[in-house]
Amino acid sequence: MIQCKICGIPLGKEPTTKQLEEHWKKHHNWHWEINQDKTPEDALLKKRDDKEASLFR
Binding site for Zn ion (CB under 5 A): 4, 6-7, 27
Measured distance CA(24)–CA(54) in Å, rounded: 24
> If we measure between CA atoms, which residue out of 2, 24, 27, 31 comes closest to residue 15?
2
Would you say 21 or 27 has its CB closer to Zn ion?
27
Looking at residue 14, the DSSP 8-state letter turns out to be: S
Would you say 19 or 27 has its CB closer to Zn ion?
27
Would you say 26 or 57 has its CB closer to Zn ion?
26
* Cβ-proximal residue to Zn ion, closest one: 4
